[in-house]
Copies of this chain bind each other. A is one copy, B any other.
Amino acid sequence: MSPTTKLTPKGAATRQRIIEGAAAEIRERGVAVTTLDDVRARTGTSKSQLFHYFPDGKDRLLLAVARYEADQVLAVQQPQLGGLTSWAAWRRWRDTVVSHYRGRGQHCPLNVLISQLGRVTPGAQAVVSEMLRRWQDEIAAGVRHLQGTGEIGPQLDAERGAAALLAGIQGGVVVMLSTGRIDHLEAALDVGIENLKASGNRA
Contacts and interface: CB of A to CB of B under 8 A. Distances in A.
Contact of A132 (B124, B168, B179): B179
B184 A125 contact: no
Listed residue (A167, A169, A173, A199) with the most chain B CB atoms within 10 angstroms of its CB: A167
Contacts of A99: none
A122 to B, nearest CB: 10
Nearest to A181: B129
B178 A119 contact: yes
A12 interface: no
Given A128-B178, A195-B198, 13 more contacts: A125-B178, A128-B179, A129-B179, A160-B191, A161-B187, A166-B184, A168-B171, A170-B175, A171-B171, A195-B195, A198-B199, A198-B202, A202-B202
Interface of A: 106, 114-115, 119-120, 124-125, 128-129, 132, 160-161, 163-164, 166-175, 177-181, 183-185, 187-188, 190-192, 195, 198-199, 201-202
5 contacts: A119-B178, A125-B179, A132-B179, A170-B174, A171-B172
